[in-house]
A and B are shown apart, each in its own frame.
Chain A
Amino acid sequence: MQIVIQNLSYVYSPKTPFEKVALDNVSFTVNEGDTLGIVGATGSGKSTLSRHLNALIRIQSGKILLGDIDLSQKKPDLKEVRKKVGMLFQFPEYQLFADTVRKDVEFGPKNFGMNEAEAAKSAAEAMRLVGLDMGEIGEKSPFELSGGQMRRVAIAGVIASRPEVLVLDEPTAGLDPAGKREILELVTALKSSFVKTVVIISHNMDEIAEYCNRVVVLDEGKLIADTTPAILFNDSDIIDNTELDYPHTIKIKRMLAARGFVIDTPALTVKELAAGVARRLK
């Protein structure tokens, strides 16, 4: 399923002294199979944009096409839209509510009309996909689990509805390095399941560089880049004009270049950078 965003604009509290433009004429397309990064400083409109993708925000002006569903029509089928586009909020473990893990993970599927047996099957599969076992912790309270486990249960709760597109808002926020790594590996692995397309909103440029094949940059509500991480970080000055950082690997590459040591690699990962340095040293 392709997502087409056309001339999307959004203003909070319009025509009041508190008026704030969150999105300003944003257009881009998310292709099936993409792992797309949305980056931008806090307040650049990333969250507003992502919440449009599953109709949590009503379109003010512009158009969004989810496959053949037009979100700008008067009454889009919200359930259908939200089933197709799963959305993981920041600190998703704070949205767990049920008395058992099983009930929490089955909440979504049941809302979307699956019967008991289907929901149970789907929830168990979702748990397996996030590396947990329903048989083992299904009857536990979600509040007894460790932080990392809670986050994975929350992810299971979203993918149990078998979305085609998964939108993740800062999925690694607040986790320690191992926890971050786990979640990112998990998201990558998910792409060989029913989840075809992943949209990641992140402040962490190292993650974007390593895991995304495409990236869009928002700045004060405007889309200022729609490209690949390799081009964004190596062949443009877009990052310099924002509050954003370069990935560490790129910083090192640039420092090397400043010392006359130029390497021919996009240097998006540690391995790529090391290999580039190695080629030059030989």
Chain B
Amino acid sequence: MNEEVMKARAADEVVIKADGVKYSYRSGERVSRGVEGIDLEIRRGEFVVFLGRNGSGKSTLAKLLNGFLVPDEGIVTALGLDTADEDRIYDVRSKVGMVFQNPDNQMVASVIESDVAFGPENLGVPREEIEERVTEALETVGMSEYRNGSPNKLSGGQKQRVAIASILAMRPEVIILDESTAMLDPKGRREIMETIMKLNREKGMTVILITHYMDEAIEADRIFVMDSGRVTAFGTPAEVFAATEAIAAAGLELPVAGKVSLELKKMGFDVPFAITDEDLAEGVCRS
């Protein structure tokens, strides 16, 4: 981790804060629950995962954090800006970037570099600087060689990396990935996880990942478990998965290592609870 990152973390600066946030979807007479009673703080440089089953409110929460949705009650502050302040909404969105689920649905241009340039163009960034940003963003996600190519020929993982580059080109401080790994094959998912880890660990970017893959969640600094529109558990991965009942109640599963250690415990063996494959192997060998 470089010095800058260390400094940022040490400052413990809160970049996103939700305070008593409530939101419901309304279509005509029908009102359906989004989220209620959300209080959370995310600090600069953190890698946070929102975990929950389909319909748990995790995507709603994500959309509240960059002002796509404005809370019915409560306040969301992103980088010191109230997301309900319509005059500053583009400041929020450019600083809190969001990548979506289907990589095909977020590219607007048929040439990769034009797609990456789209955000900075919209922000009125001078041309020379756009050039610089495009180069840097594509390099960060390892897609420089495809710069002049068409997105149609890329794999899912590659497309999603371009989508991340397109957000990076706006120079955000926080990046939210809303189930951005859900439609990818294992190789694509690995590529995205590697990209996320690089952004977070090397560049000190604050990352919020919404997912229902347990093996992605165990990489996080903190996990928020969502169920029925509320945060039902939060903490480090070790803490969260140790709360096995809360995990089950939220319709989630433990990582395989966790399941195995639980099974062993049931059989009466004194093996420490582990969530990563390595920790389990270590634990078994030591007991």
Contacts and interface: CB of A to CB of B under 8 A. Distances in A.
B193 to A, nearest CB: 13
Interface string A267-282: 0001101100110010
Interface stretch (A53-61, A131-139, A221-229, A247-255): A247-255
Interface string B153-192: 0011000000000000000000000000011011110000
Interface stretch (A27-35, A113-121, A173-181, A211-219): A173-181
A256 interface: yes
Nearest to A204: B186
Nearest to B188: A42
A146 B32 CA distance: 13
Contact of A252 (B155, B183, B214, B260): B260
Given A244-B186, A252-B281, A274 B54 contact: no
A260 B285 contact: yes
Nearest to B156: A42
B238 interface: no
Contacts of A270: 256, 259-260, 263
Interface in B252-271: 252-253, 255-257, 259-260, 263-264, 267, 269, 271
B: interface residue count bin: 35 or more
B263 A42 contact: no
B280 interface: yes
A281 B259 contact: no
A256 B54 contact: no
Contacts of A245: 186
B284 A281 contact: yes
A277 B186 CA distance: 27
B185 A41 contact: yes
A132 B284 CA distance: 43
A249 B260 contact: yes
A42 B278 contact: no
B121 interface: no
B260 A273 contact: yes
Contacts of A278: 264, 267, 269
A261 interface: yes
B287 interface: yes
Contact of A177 (B183, B186, B212, B263): B212
Given A243-B187, A278-B269, A281-B284, A248 B264 contact: no
B155 A177 contact: no
A146 B281 contact: no
A181 B214 CA distance: 14
A179 B185 CA distance: 18
Interface in A117-175: 146-148, 173-175
B240 to A, nearest CB: 15
A220 interface: no
A258 B282 CA distance: 11
A270 to B, nearest CB: 5
19 contacts: A42-B187, A43-B155, A173-B183, A176-B52, A177-B253, A178-B53, A206-B256, A245-B186, A248-B277, A249-B256, A252-B277, A252-B281, A256-B285, A259-B281, A259-B285, A261-B281, A274-B263, A274-B264, A277-B284
Given A176-B212, A248-B255, A259-B281, 5 more contacts: A43-B155, A177-B252, A204-B186, A245-B186, A252-B277
